[in-house]
Structure 1
């Protein structure tokens, strides 16, 4: 069930420095089982920075396995391996915290018919390269959004790959769209493990994550197959843009894209939705469900991911609580105040969808994702796109002018 969107009313009390608080997330729900599901985490960052290292260090106690993007194969078959130089090798040694590493090879779903032997060699290359560099790689994951009509060919590729892995662990991602296909049985029979992706698999207009639909996909997989699997869950947001003809233009994640589009929207996986899904999952988990794989490791540089504290709380089986309140802080200009949102909770809080301004202060406008609602009967700011405010942070979202402000005595 969708959560109610928070709305804040600025009253006279706020003008004197107090605040009307709203909960950004739902109250805690009872956790059915004390032990959370094991958590793997994707490291999908292209730039290995000090912020990534700090995030790995802080997340490590809650991580079972790191799944590291090692290479990408484009639609034309070109392979772009992640460069594993001495600096990156030392980086891994410093931050792995003894956790196993599974290398991920991402193959573009638009890849056409290609030489199977060449593709197998391309997939194996990162495994060989990283092991030669001194990384104790536990296995290989193939992330390929294969068209459903080509699943039989994909199964043959996986069999060829498996024959040359030399006993290394093999994982694959799987799309919910494949579930009705008879050929999926041949695909999932090959790997040691399947990662069922339940986020960003529908039309962008449907959002990133639907808990009810995700639950149905998990149940469907568990009923049909015995191959062990993990559920791939989101802890991020994305900016999606469309062209003038409503065709998809870009999907922008942690890496900014210099692309336009006729219109765009910010999408966000809500921590409370994911936490509630996990609570239900622990009750209804199929016997072959082995854990969760999170996309992606949050860092302080990633403005479209949850805060690391929020991710850790959800990963541990908690339902985190964010707490936003608004204040109008006087400026040096008499009668002019800055509208500020503050999260004094312990987790990310969803930005309120509206701010109702006091009737005695009709002049005001929004900023940083808020704008004046020209159709509202009373002065009101509206949120232009969803977002989260991390714990302990504040955001100026507009200004307010009150010629007869009651806090001026």
Structure 2
């Protein structure tokens, strides 16, 4: 067939699709080049907005010992504010039983916090720690790896060994950890908790070379509380000494700080009977304990004496014994954060707090209190009260602490006074908790014209409600109600 076209025209008209696409791309590039020439420059790409820096200056994560309840929305927001992204979840403990070493499941590792990378924590009993030696690796490591493997989830990225090895044995501990790393899947993050005494050991650099990170714990559950309140459980001098040692070694580490309340029992002469008792001041006061003194500062210390023998849960307390409670405060924790910022450590990866608050008997600082410490915006304790009408002359008295610090003062307790001149106030049930007590005040004519409430201990965010207060007048008219809250020499009107 004759087309009337020469060979060159025919070749162009029937070019392959790939050739036509190439021609189009070249034309597009020419057009873009012309546009750039007219505009003068290539438009700059919009930079990505970096996440805000953690308010404390470093990320803050938590150890989760597995007795916490589901976090509320406000608690989750406070946790996210801290800038951390990981959780250290207890999963089990290895302890001796007769001639064997057994794995005991602990915590709840299968329930990590959504969106957080998880390190599973394996505790080693102190009886095993005391005999730490490379010779026990073949016996110990399979138990550790098998327990960790059974409990790992899709969120698990590492393992942390919690083992209080004597300082003289940390060189041997390093060899055991080297064998453990070889037994773990490649890429598993390996870390260990650290006693502060290890900072004096020449073998500490060897240990730190063996793992990805160490976490010196600036607390000790077995350290007796100083009854004078002069020796803090966590001090800035300890922090500076250990941080300088860690920085000199130049390997990654985190700082472990306590946020829970410790309790120790002493006899009447002041001799330690037993440390680390899982009891709260509220339990002991409700059982008849008498407050001898309270000390407020970077730590709150409360000294309580038992006037008679009593049993609280599984703990038998003898007459004359003294219980000492101590807890870090948001103000104290904020100062430790400031100490760490001042030291400006290059190799510190952040802070880990013990522990995530939950349903334990032992009190821990709330996530809201930790957030206040991290932002260095700690509000002092502030007791407020309001009277809520319920109808038919019935009311509810609602008392709360709207500060970030716990209110603690048994020498000058907070007072809520409600007066109803010419009327009568009747409470069907009044609190008598040891830390909080109330009484009706009777006038000369026999009428109960006032209610007096005294508060020695009220936790930050805690709410106390006295329900069903009947305020009545003889003729049924609306009563006059005067109310005041007295705290620390200041008075505030009762809210309504």
Using structure 2 for the length normalisation, give the TM-score.
Answer: 0.58
- 1:65 Cα deviation (Å)? 0.3
Query: Relative to structure 1, is the Cα distance of residues 36 and 220 closer, same or farther in structure 2, using a 3 angstrom cutoff?
Result: closer
Cross-structure match for 2:87: 66
Q: CA deviation at 1:307?
A: 2.0
Residue equivalent to 2:150: 129
Seen in structure 2, the aligned counterparts of structure 1 residues 258 and 217 have a Cα distance that, compared at 3 Å, is farther
Out of 272, 277, 282, the position equivalent to 1:252 is 277
> Paired residue for 1:177?
197
Q: 2:69 touches 2:358 (CA, 8 Å); kept in 1?
A: no
Contact 1:343 1:392 in 2 (8 A): yes
Alignment equivalent of 1:391, drawn from 445, 461, 481: 461
Q: What is residue 239 of structure 2 aligned with on the other side?
A: 215
The equivalent residue for 2:126 is 109
Change (3 A) 1:254 1:229: farther
Rate the CA distance shift 1:304–1:33 in 2: closer, same or farther, 3 A.
Answer: closer
Of 380, 387, 390, the residue aligned with 1:322 is: 380
Are 2:69 and 2:359, in contact at CA under 8 Å, matched by a contact in 1? no
Q: Does 1:97 pair with 2:153?
A: no
Gaps (5+ residues) in structure 2?
A: 1-52, 281-311, 388-396, 416-431, 438-453, 467-481, 484-496
- Correspondent of 1:226 among 250, 255, 264: 250
Residue 142 of structure 1: CA displacement?
A: 0.6
- Contact persistence 2:221–2:275 (CA under 8 A): no
Alpha-carbon distance in structure 1 between the residues aligned to 2:267 and 2:173? 32
Is the 1:208–1:268 Cα contact (8 Å) retained in structure 2?
A: no
CA RMSD of aligned residues (A): 4.2
1:265 corresponds, among 291, 313, 324, to 324
Per-residue deviation, residues 39-76 of structure 1 (Å, max 9, x unmatched): 2211102x464469995686345331010001112365
Counterparts of 1:234-383 in structure 2, within 5 Å, are: 234-242=258-266, 246-253=271-278, 258-261=314-317, 262-299=321-358, 304-314=363-373, 316-325=374-383, 342-345=400-403, 347-355=404-412, 368-369=434-435
Deviation at 1:382, TM superposition (A): 10
Which runs of 5 or more structure 1 residues have no equivalent in the other structure? 1-31, 330-338, 359-365, 372-380, 397-406
Per the TM alignment, residue 355 of structure 1 is displaced from its structure 2 partner at its CA by 1.4
1:51–1:300 contact (8 Å) kept in structure 2: no
Could you tell me which residue of structure 2 aligns to residue 120 of structure 1? 141
Q: Are the aligned partners of 1:109 and 1:144 in contact in 2 as well (CA < 8 Å)?
A: yes
- Residue by residue over 1:65-91, the C-alpha shift from the partner in whole angstroms, topping out at 9 and shown as x without a partner, is 01000111236543212387xxx74x4
Aligned-pair CA distance for 1:35: 5.9
Counterpart mapping for 1:128-147 below 5 A: 128-131=149-152, 134-147=153-166
- Match in the other structure for 2:285: none
CA distance in 1, matches of 2:211, 2:86: 17
The structure number with the bigger radius of gyration is: 2
Equivalent position to 2:216, from 170, 191, 196: 196
| Structure 1 residue 194 displacement after superposition | 0.8
Offset of residue 263 of structure 1? 2.8
Equivalent position to 1:79, from 103, 110, 129 = 103
In structure 2, how many angstroms separate the alpha carbons of the residues matched to 1:58 and 1:35? 13
Determine the C-alpha separation between the residues in 2 that align with 1:287 and 1:357: 45
Change (3 A) 1:276 1:113: closer
Aligned length: 338
Structure 1 range deviating more: 215-224 or 233-242? 215-224
TM-score (normalised: structure 1) = 0.69
Residue pairs, 1:396-407, within 5 angstroms: none
Q: CA deviation at 1:200?
A: 2.3
Aligned CA distance change for structure 1 residues 327 and 58 (closer, same or farther; 3 Å): closer
In structure 2, relative to structure 1, the CA distance for the partners of 1:312 and 1:125 (3 Å cut) is: farther
CA distance change for structure 1 residues 238 and 83 in 2, over 3 Å: closer, same or farther? closer
2-side partners of 1:219 and 1:283: how far apart?
11
Instruction: Give deviations 1:110-131, integer Å, cap 9, x for gaps.
Output: 3243732111112212321123
CA 34–270 in structure 1, closer or farther in 2 if over 3 Å, else same: closer
| Corresponding residue SS for 1:354 | coil
